[in-house]
């Protein structure tokens, strides 16, 4: 058979964009999303979309000023969240979302600075930034989508992978002890620490509103299903059965010591608000100590 090639011109870029953006605005939350970006890349059943929706709902209910709210993300599946939001957003290099956000906050303290990133991004390559921003009590909010593995690169084990869970890098089961993010955040000095699962959408939204309004380093952990990598390798079923297991295993508690809130591959998940304290922020301390002293009149030396 003879193949005939048709001399067709590629449609102009503007028309491609028009097609992509068709239907934008059909959903009331679309006003917070960039035109032409939905559907997002996340798999069917991925919890990242729920977290993004919770953030957008928080913006709506908390009346956040879209001109003053900025979102910074690192690399990973959830890192794409920054690109979908119609705000000033920054998709930084792997692990560097927190230092970037710190810089933004210090340069313009009027901004609400929110970091949305993954467990691998924030606690493996970016682990040092997390503990030191929490120690300094920089006034930013960090939201972590914890799916217990590196979703984007195909499901490698990371710092939150529970013992014995299977990943591409731990085919016989993970033999490393994982971080308990709630405990880590508390020990590093965060003033607000909460953990919810993707099923607790309303609580997640309210925690995000509270964190953004609260001065100081606030940390919200969202347990999200990653059915494609973590779920499939550990035979946890599809997204729906992972969500059902969150429903059956979540225990709401405020009394539990953060030390006791570690999460295993299966079993109970402690959820709730674990820390909510007040402490002067990095900028408060800096203004008070360093700048005041530098500007104070010098004492003349008496002989």
Give the binding site for other proteins (CB under 8 A): 23, 26-30, 33, 38-40, 42-50, 52-54, 57, 198-199, 201-202, 205, 239-240, 243-244
151 touches ligand SF4 by CB under 6 A: yes
Does residue 104 contact residue 70 with C-beta atoms inside 8 Å? yes
What contacts 24+ positions apart, CB below 8 Å, involve 242-248? 242/45, 243/197, 243/198, 243/199, 246/197, 246/198, 246/199, 247/199
CB of 10 to ligand SF4, least distance (A): 30
111-123 exposure pattern, b = at least 16 Cβ within 10 A, e = fewer: bbbbbbbbbbbbb
Q: Binder to ligand SF4 among 77, 131, 218, 270 (CB under 6 A)?
A: 77
Place of tokens 């990973």: 76
Peptide bond into 65 cis (omega under 30): no
Does residue 211 contact residue 218 with C-beta atoms inside 8 Å? yes
Q: Which of other proteins, ligand SF4, ligand TPP, none sits in contact with 228, Cβ below 5 to 8 A by type?
A: ligand SF4
Binding mask 35-64 for ligand SF4 (x = CB under 6 A): -------xx--x-x----------------
Binding mask 212-241 for ligand SF4 (x = CB under 6 A): --------------xxxx------------
Q: Binder to ligand TPP among 47, 49, 62, 118 (CB under 6 A)?
A: 118
Q: Which of ligand SF4, ligand TPP, other proteins, none sits in contact with 26, Cβ below 5 to 8 A by type?
A: other proteins
Task: Give the 3-state secondary structure of residue 272.
Answer: strand
Interface positions with ligand TPP (CB under 6 A): 75-78, 94, 118-121, 145, 147, 150-153, 158
């Amino acid at each position: 058979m003879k193949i005939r090639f048709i001399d067709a011109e590629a449609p102009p870029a503007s028309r491609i964009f028009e097609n992509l953006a068709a239907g934008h605005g059909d959903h009331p939350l679309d006003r917070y999303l960039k035109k032409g970006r939905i559907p997002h890349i996340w798999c069917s059943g991925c919890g990242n979309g729920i977290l993004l929706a919770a953030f957008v709902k928080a913006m709506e209910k908390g009346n956040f000023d879209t001109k003053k709210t900025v979102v910074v993300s690192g690399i990973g599946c959830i890192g794409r969240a920054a690109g979908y939001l119609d705000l000033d957003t920054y998709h930084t290099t792997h692990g560097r979302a927190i230092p970037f956000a710190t810089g933004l906050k210090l340069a313009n303290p009027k901004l609400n600075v929110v970091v949305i990133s993954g467990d691998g991004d924030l606690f493996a390559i970016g682990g040092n930034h997390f503990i030191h921003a929490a120690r300094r009590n920089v006034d930013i909010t960090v939201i972590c989508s914890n799916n217990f593995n590196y979703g984007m690169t195909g499901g490698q084990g990371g710092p939150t992978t529970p013992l014995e869970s299977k990943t591409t890098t731990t085919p016989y089961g993970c033999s490393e002890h994982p971080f308990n993010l709630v405990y880590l955040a508390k020990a590093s000095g965060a003033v607000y620490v909460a953990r919810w699962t993707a099923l607790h959408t309303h609580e997640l939204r309210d925690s995000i509103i509270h964190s953004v309004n609260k001065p100081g380093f606030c940390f919200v952990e969202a347990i999200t299903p990653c059915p494609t990598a973590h779920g499939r390798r550990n035979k946890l079923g599809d997204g729906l059965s992972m969500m059902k297991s969150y429903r059956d295993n979540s225990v709401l508690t405020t009394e539990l010591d953060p030390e006791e809130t570690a999460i295993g591959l299966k079993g109970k998940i402690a959820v709730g608000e674990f820390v909510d304290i007040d402490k002067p922020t990095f900028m408060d301390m800096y203004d008070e100590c360093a700048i005041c002293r530098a500007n104070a009149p010098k004492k003349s030396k008496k002989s």
